[in-house]
Chains A and B, each alone.
Chain A
């Protein structure tokens, strides 16, 4: 009986999503990013591709964490080959570090620009190119209209866009499918040894289109997201991600 109900509810939810304008083919191949229960926050329980993902990173520490997190996603996306563009001004990303997250740095083409206007123009042009796997854009601000322009291009080319917003003070709403904030968390000791543990991130999904926001803890080790045994920051109500 319960199974039947679940089935019905699932179908109804699908209908609602259709009515809301959500296109299920966004991740038709169902690429699994190993995000565990975080995927449940998205409509249809799949990570939306061919969409705009926004990451808030106001300081270099958060930018590093976001960079790491995005690299993991990119490495999954680019498993079958392809190229990715990383468009920014005053880039500090250090290419050799990305190999730690399974991403081959030689497959990224960095576009280093002088001003924000060029970044937006270059991002739009890049997103028009369906041969790219993804486009990462670092910028200070993006207005609703600008995000809409990118979204319109994405809908044609079906390239996934990751936008890192470095200035979140004037946080305008955008057409992004998801707004993330990735920040560092104290790592756990490996086998009780001193020294740094694996990278552990506090993943906040602040906004999800047609989904449920939430925040989780995630650890990245040996090429995959790993379950975390001990949970600090109990008062934050962080759920385990994997």
Chain B
């Protein structure tokens, strides 16, 4: 078996470094993070400046404020450090595929067989540390055969960060007992006994040590020295669906762009499909020779791995990709993807269920070019008020939750806003005898009504409507209403609202 090598990275002031990267104005100010512990606020992280003023972790915030009145405090970020570490761990995947989190602001990397790619462990370590320091994190790192030794040296080591194989014990000898990561009680006990370095007690007989510091600490020591296997839980990285296609010669023609898109889509969809996923949104980036990047995005109404359909969506936007001097690189990312539902059933598709997919693809094309808002589908709503009797739905598969009303006749054409008309009506509650709309007088020959529709007072205020269905001499049919009650003092307001077939 190949000799394992581990690298431990310690972020001594992780949270404060992070906030300073985000807010450079906080640089060089005493800065602490605090969180609730029980019913008081306690310091959970302190910057170097704060620490030098006597503020330490676990101190109540009130005490810290007493020492440094103009202390900068950031509250309630208790899960931030884990999140940050995970993100940093994912960033480290570029150096090794196996990265694990450590309890106190550290990462552990399994670097077996990776370091030579950077020209040896020294260069490897320097690269990582310099990169992280460049971002703004205070880090210390160490490489060793065991995780425990790497951990100890990264935190307490003073000599060399790289411990050669078999040198673990020697490197540990001058370090304090805490470096073994045994329980604080045990290490305190050892210090009290005057055993201030590991070297002073490590060669003691096991049975003697075990009696004083306990079985757990003994196990820990064995792990550090590599006599026992340590536990390593690598972090997982979310699958990234991304494809790239570089071209030997810069691409300048539409045909060339089309071929690139087809190829990328094919690769992306094959990958997605093998994972049972379907594309919801894809981003194509075309890198031009002149340094410009053209972004083109498509979206679909349902997960899809149908390359020809997705290609059609892109082809609607190819015009926007101006090659100018030429495009040298295309990348395509799956911005959104969902689990592919193999057999989506919908309710009206009794015979044509197979063809549902094609309609969805058509709607994707329409939405891609004209915008998703142009697609409308309506379902009934339990309201009598005509404007509110239907609701828009986004999905073309949403089933009918309540039946369409057939008991009342509704006009085929409905005006969005009722228009006022002049009406001659004989007596209250009688339909009009004639009405005038857009300069034409209509003699009413037949009429039905009134159908009173009350405004829903809990939704809006206003008058009710008394609707009449009117037929004029030519047989044309109209939907008119009088707004509010009839009153002899003032003439009633009449409106036309629709046209019947």
Residues of A within 8 A of B (CB): 60-61, 63-65, 67-69, 71, 80-83, 92-101, 104-113, 118, 121-122, 125-126, 128-132, 184-187, 189, 194-197, 199-201, 220
Given the contacts A67-B413, A81-B351, A187 and B356 also touching, CB distance less than 8 Å: no
Bound-state CA distance A185–B473 (Å) is 9
22 contacts across the A-B interface (CB closer than 8 A): A60-B413, A63-B412, A64-B501, A69-B501, A81-B352, A93-B412, A96-B378, A96-B410, A99-B406, A101-B501, A105-B390, A106-B377, A109-B376, A110-B376, A112-B376, A113-B374, A125-B362, A129-B362, A131-B356, A186-B473, A186-B474, A200-B475
Asked if residues A195 and B448 are in contact (CB atoms below 8 Å), the reply is yes
Q: Which of A98, A110, A186, A189 has a CB less than 8 Å from the CB of B412?
A: A98
Q: Is there contact, CB below 8 Å, between B359 and A184?
A: no
Q: Cβ of B409: which chain A residues have Cβ within 8 Å of it?
A: 97, 100
Q: Which one of B250-258, B265-273, B363-371 is at the A interface?
A: B363-371
- A81 contacts across to B, CB distance below 8 A: 348-352
What 0/1 pattern do residues 138 to 171 of B give for CB contact below 8 A with A? Answer: 0000000000000000000000000000000000
Chain B residues touching A, majority SS: mixed
Chain B: CB-nearest residue to A107: B348
17 other contacts beyond A63-B413, A186-B445, A195-B446, with CB at 8 A cut-off? A67-B501, A81-B349, A81-B351, A94-B386, A94-B412, A94-B413, A96-B410, A100-B409, A106-B400, A111-B374, A122-B370, A125-B362, A132-B359, A185-B475, A186-B473, A186-B475, A195-B447
Q: Which residues of B contact A195 (CB under 8 A)?
A: 446-448
Interface contact A110-B378, CB-CB below 8 Å: yes
Query: Complex Cα distance A173/B448, Å?
Result: 41
User: Would you call B416 an interface residue if the criterion is a C-beta within 8 Å of the partner chain's C-beta atoms?
Assistant: yes
Q: Which residue of B lies closest to A194 (CB)?
A: B446
A100 to B411, CA, bound (A): 10
B501 touches A199 (CB 8 A): yes
Residues A97 and B412 in contact, CB atoms below 8 Å apart = yes
Mark B406-434 against chain A: 1 for CB-CB distance below 8 A, else 0.
10011111111000000000000000000
Partner of B365, one of A113, A125, A199: A125
Highest count of chain B CB atoms <10 Å: which of A68, A82, A97: A97
Alpha-carbon gap, A103 to B374, bound state (A): 22
Nearest CB in chain B: distance from A181 CB, A: 14
- The answer to whether B499 and A63 have CB atoms under 8 Å apart is yes
Query: When the two chains form their complex, are residues A64 and B499 in contact, meaning their CB atoms are under 8 A apart?
Result: yes
Q: Please report the C-alpha to C-alpha distance between residue A100 and residue B415 in the assembled complex, in whole angstroms.
A: 19
Interface: B210 (CB within 8 A): no
Does B321 lie at the interface of the complex (its beta carbon under 8 Å from any beta carbon of A)? no
In the complex, the chain B residue whose C-beta lies closest to that of A78 is: B348
Pick the residue among A98, A196, A200, A220 that contacts B448 (CB under 8 A): A196
B379 at the A interface (CB under 8 A): yes
Looking at the complex, which one of B366, B374, B390, B500 makes contact with A64 (CB distance below 8 Å)? B500
- B471 interface residue per 8 A CB criterion: yes
Q: Which residues of A have CB within 8 Å of B386? A: 94
**Which residues 430-475 of B sit at the A interface, judged by CB distance below 8 A?**
445-448, 469, 471, 473-475
Asked whether, in the complex, the Cβ of B366 is within 8 Å of the Cβ of A61, the reply is no
**Chain A nearest CB: distance from B299 CB in Å?**
17
- In angstroms, Cα B378 to Cα A197, docked, is 29
Q: How far apart are B341's CB and chain A's nearest CB, in angstroms?
A: 18
Q: Separation in Å of the A222 CB from the closest CB of chain B?
A: 11
Does any Cβ of A come within 8 Å of B64's Cβ? no
Contact indicator A105/B446 (Cβ below 8 Å): no
Chain A residues near B352 (CB-CB < 8 A): 80-83, 131
Contact yes or no, A92 B377, CB < 8 A:
no
- Knowing A80-B351, A131-B359, A194-B446, say if A67 contacts B412 (CB, 8 Å): yes
A107 to B499, CA, bound (A): 22
**A67-B412, A125-B366, A184-B475 known; A196 and B447 CB under 8 Å?**
yes
- A-B pairs, 7 with minimum CB distance: A68-B501, A131-B355, A94-B414, A186-B475, A97-B410, A64-B499, A131-B358
The answer to whether A196 and B499 have CB atoms under 8 Å apart is no
**Chain B residue contacts of A61, Cβ below 8 A:** 476-477, 499
Does B405 have its Cβ within 8 Å of any Cβ on chain A? yes
B415 touches A184 (CB 8 A): no
Min distance, Cβ A23 to any Cβ of chain B, angstroms:
23
B429 to chain A, nearest CB (A): 15
Cβ of A184 and Cβ of B477 under 8 Å apart?
yes
- Interface pair A199/B404, CB less than 8 Å apart: no
Question: Is B414 in contact with A196, judged by CB distance below 8 angstroms?
Answer: no
Asked whether B498 is an interface residue with its Cβ less than 8 Å from the other chain, the reply is yes
Q: What residues on A are CB-neighbors of B358 within 8 Å?
A: 129-131
